[in-house]
Structure 1
Amino acid sequence: MDEIKMQLTLVTTDFRKLMVEKIKTFKHPEFINFPSGSCFASSVLLNHFLINKGYLGFNIVFANLNNKSHSWVQNDQFIIDVTANQFDEIQEEVLVVRKGMDFWHRNFSVKSIRKTDYRDLVDLNLIPLGRSMGLLF
């Protein structure tokens, strides 16, 4: 495993553990059936977590597969997904894969890719959860 991928995997694993711990306390409606139905909110939080750790340039991807929607973050080199295990064929809690080497996400029909910002946190009412995770000051 190359060094950047290994670092991203460690950071993303830390993020998921922290998020799972915090959503137990906050009982946020986006996370009631985590990881199912939590991909957009999780991706918004993950993107802010990555920025705080110095990993810039990630965007949120919105996609569909077999009438199911899904979201993850990606940049020009990596796809990172912390909710892929809501799908039966994925057991890993954290997926960090090089773009072009991913054989699962490429099955999705991408609907849009965009940056995330503070408005997403506000729109999803994620400010208290984000603060508890140290993402917001």
Structure 2
Amino acid sequence: MKYHMEVHKFRNALSYLVEFESYKIIKLGGFAWAGLNSFPNGSCFLSSSLLGMYLQQQGAENVKLISANVDSDESPYIKSHAWLEVDDKYVDITGSQFSNITNARITVQNKHSSEWIFAYAQVAKKHGTYREQEPDFDGHLDLYNLILSRINSI
């Protein structure tokens, strides 16, 4: 994937902020800290959306934010999740929250592979909800700028 290094920079910057400079996120107010307090757990939508914006600003085209929900026995370990599709690849920076499935901090998979994100997407399409949309700042432009400042200091 062309933007592999950018994905790593973004996740590293976000992880650093959550772990070592959480006070900066708290100072932003709003829901930023609530959405990241347990990163990567429960942070997939916000993190993926902001990563999508970052990748678009780095020149990536055809970036989609995907969110899915499954409330059935077909997916006993993942009830909801969000990730990106970039150039026919699934990109996930929060999948490690599902430690019974993966411990990878960053997952990049072929969109049509038989790996876990593809399998979950298929279950969501059949037994739950599956949504593709454009990533956006979702009211978190200040958080995005904080992440950018951290990336630029790496």
TM-score by length of 1: 0.81
Q: Deviations over 1:22-41 (max 9, x none)?
A: 23331411011111100000
Partner of 2:11: 16
Structure 2 CA distance, aligned partners of 1:26 and 1:102?
37
Partner of 2:152: none
Structure 1 CA distance, aligned partners of 2:146 and 2:115?
35
Partner of 1:96: 108
Partner of 2:143: 129
Contact 1:39-1:83 within 8 A present in 2 as well: yes
Larger radius of gyration: 2
Cα root mean square deviation, aligned:
1.8
Structure 1 CA distance, aligned partners of 2:97 and 2:54?
21
Contact 1:22-1:129 within 8 A present in 2 as well: no
Partner of 2:98: 87
Partner of 2:84: 73
* 5+ residue gaps, structure 2: 27-32, 70-74, 150-154
Structure 1 CA distance, aligned partners of 2:25 and 2:105?
21
Say how many residue pairs are matched: 125
Partner of 1:113: 132
TM-score by length of 2: 0.73
Contact 1:8-1:96 within 8 A present in 2 as well: no
* 5+ residue gaps, structure 1: none
Structure 2 CA distance, aligned partners of 1:62 and 1:87?
16
Partner of 2:64: 59
Q: Deviations over 1:13-70 (max 9, x none)?
A: 1110011122333141101111110000001110011012111211111113436100
Identity %: 25
SS in 2 for 1:134: helix
Q: Offset of 1:102 from its aligned partner?
A: 4.7
Structure 1 CA distance, aligned partners of 2:48 and 2:116?
17
Partner of 1:26: 25
The answer to which of 95-104 and 79-88 deviates more is 95-104
